[in-house]
Amino acid sequence: MIDHPQEPTIAAIATPPGPGGIGVIRISGSLARPLLVSIFHPKNKNKKLRSHQLTYGFIRDPQTGSMLDEVLAVYMQGPKTYTREDVVEIHCHGSYLVLKGVLALLLKEGAQLAAPGEFTKRAFLNGRIDLTRAEAVMELLEANTPARVDMARNQLGGGLHATIMAIRNQLMVCRGIIEVAIDFPDEDVEIINPQAMSVQINENVLAPLATLINDADKGRIYRDGISVVILGRPNVGKSSLLNSLLREERAIVTPVPGTTRDTIEEMLTIHGMPVRIVDTAGIRDQAEAVEEIGIERARAKLGEADLVLFLLDATCGITPDDEKLRKALPAKPVLYVVNKIDIVEDYKVDVFQEKLAGQPVVSISAKKGDYIDTLEQAVYDLVCGGEEWDPGHGVVPNVRHRAALEKAREAGCRVLDGIAEGLPADLVAIELQATLDHLGDIIGETTTEDVLDMIFQQFCLGK
């Protein structure tokens, strides 16, 4: 067993559980190379380990000599590595039992099991990446839509960091002027030009902060997605609509009212936006016991919804039961969807729009799939306020960033007020430094240890 230096060398399986062609074990720290040498035997006994070069060989237990796996191993000398420490990767066969065996051998030889996100945390602490890029790694791993991949990729490339640094640089210029005013209070020359500094803070600090906050609100939709509940009387076509949106036969469709007796949830993407679509049991007063349970679950899902698709039947108009159901709706955004227009001669949407008092209405045929694209666009417009927005361009702060941006904007406004009121320079400097500190929280310059722990604990093992 190899003795530990002061900073432990960490190891973990870097690939997810389950069968696969290749599984990777990652090691980082000053003992990475000695640990590899202790268990790895190159096929060519004269082969020397060279940095950043794969070597073919076998993993053997130093105590028993038994072979654990046939592998490719690579030693990477720091600082040109992910963590800026010495790093080793062992590419094993994808059996999780094999990977666990090799990892157990490394731990027995002196490695320490890495905590979740510890490799990326070391990359941050060693100055390879800032905190926004570290968070982008997790964003990329969790991305479940192309839009989220684009957002994570932009942040990983340093887009948010560069934007924050540009704002901080403007504040640093203002701080330099204010510090001169503090150091030379008795000078006859006016050091601070209130009008010029106010313009600079407004245009180069507060305006970019407002844009970032606005983009964070839009980006939340693409990160977290929305919940959309399909609601309506029995037999208006809710399950047919679900199938049309999914482009597959997910729900059973029959002409018998009450076929759906439970909620059915599926994920889909609308214009890059993750959507959890929920098909519910048709709500009516006279229902069987099992159907009533489904109705109660439908009401519960309705309370969680971000948007309600209220389905109406074009063949019978808005019935008293529809009106009763409408009155019971919670305060949620509602999009009215008139179905079965394919079997109504001279269908006119104006009749429904008039009775719904100008509420948004979309007409479709769920059975034939007609105008589903129009419905999807209407959903997108309602959620995003009708504004087309490309999450793949620019930077999209997350929830943590947004909270810090709000605090920075509030402190920046207080700087502006202090300048306008002619407050002493040292008081203005306090609020200006607070603005800098809040922005520093985003990139990791002033982030507290407990916040760092919270961020990296959300990572998976091996990253």
Chain segment 151-175, per-residue pLDDT in tens: 889 899 999 999 999 999 999 998 8
Has residue 188 got a pLDDT over 50? no
Q: Where are the domains of the chain?
A: 10-114, 135-221+398-456, 225-384
pLDDT given at position 403: 94
pLDDT given at position 326: 84
The Cα 128–Cα 30 span in angstroms is 17
Has residue 185 got a pLDDT over 90? no
Q: What is the pLDDT of residues 275-299, one digit of tens each?
A: 888 887 654 444 444 445 445 666 6
- Burial of 269: CB neighbours in 10 Å, binned 0-12, 13-18, 19+: middle
Listed range (260-269, 404-413, 453-462) with the worst mean pLDDT: 260-269
Q: What is the pLDDT of residues 306-317, one digit of tens each?
A: 888 999 998 888
- Burial of 308: CB neighbours in 10 Å, binned 0-12, 13-18, 19+: buried
Note whether 420 and 194 are within 8 A (CB).
yes
Note whether 111 and 31 are within 8 A (CB).
yes
Note whether 19 and 115 are within 8 A (CB).
no
Torsion from C-alpha of 447, 450, 451, 454, nearest 10 degrees? 150
Note whether 112 and 5 are within 8 A (CB).
no
pLDDT given at position 70: 96
Mean pLDDT of 364-370: 89
Architecture of domain 135-221+398-456: Up-down Bundle (1.20)
The Cα 431–Cα 407 span in angstroms is 11
Top-confidence residue, 346 or 252: 346
Q: What is the pLDDT of residues 84-143, one digit of tens each?
A: 999 999 999 999 999 999 999 999 999 999 999 999 999 999 999 999 999 999 889 888
pLDDT given at position 289: 43
pLDDT given at position 262: 54
Has residue 24 got a pLDDT over 50? yes
The Cα 104–Cα 99 span in angstroms is 8
- Decide if domain 10-114 falls under CATH 3.30.1360.120: yes
Share of the chain above pLDDT 90, in %: 43
CA 136-214-362 angle, 5° bins? 105
pLDDT given at position 104: 96
Query: To the nearest whole number, what is the mean pLDDT of the chain?
Result: 85
pLDDT given at position 430: 92
Q: Do domains 135-221+398-456 and 225-384 have the same CATH topology?
A: no
Q: Which of 55-59, 333-337, 384-388 has the highest mean pLDDT?
A: 55-59
Of the pLDDT bands very low, low, confident and very high (cuts 50, 70, 90), residue 273 is confident
Note whether 230 and 253 are within 8 A (CB).
no
pLDDT given at position 189: 42
Top-confidence residue, 354 or 413: 413
- Decide if domain 225-384 falls under CATH 3.90.1150.10: no
pLDDT given at position 383: 85
Q: Identity (one letter) of the amino acid at 447? A: T
pLDDT given at position 455: 87
Q: What is the pLDDT of residues 32-54, one digit of tens each?
A: 999 999 999 999 888 888 999 99
Helix axes 207-224, 399-421, angle to 10 degrees: 160
Has residue 338 got a pLDDT over 70? yes
Alpha carbon 456 to its chain's center: 14
pLDDT given at position 56: 96
For the question of whether the overall pTM of this predicted structure is more than 0.95, the answer is no
Note whether 271 and 376 are within 8 A (CB).
yes
Share of the chain above pLDDT 70, in %: 87
- Burial of 112: CB neighbours in 10 Å, binned 0-12, 13-18, 19+: middle
Mean pLDDT of 226-248: 85
Listed range (85-94, 104-113, 191-200, 257-266) with the worst mean pLDDT: 257-266
Has residue 191 got a pLDDT over 70? no
Q: What DSSP line would sit under 107-168, residue for residue?
A: HHHT-EEPPTTHHHHHHHHTTSS-HHHHHHHHHHHH--SHHHHHHHHHHHTTHHHHHHHHHH
Mean pLDDT of 346-371: 85
The Cα 400–Cα 454 span in angstroms is 11
Nearest to 21 by CA among 99, 107, 103: 99
User: What are the backbone angles phi and psi of residue 380, rounded to the nearest 5°?
Assistant: -60, -45
Q: Which residue has the tokens 């949106």?
A: 245
Has residue 251 got a pLDDT over 50? no
Torsion from C-alpha of 46, 50, 55, 60, nearest 10 degrees? 70
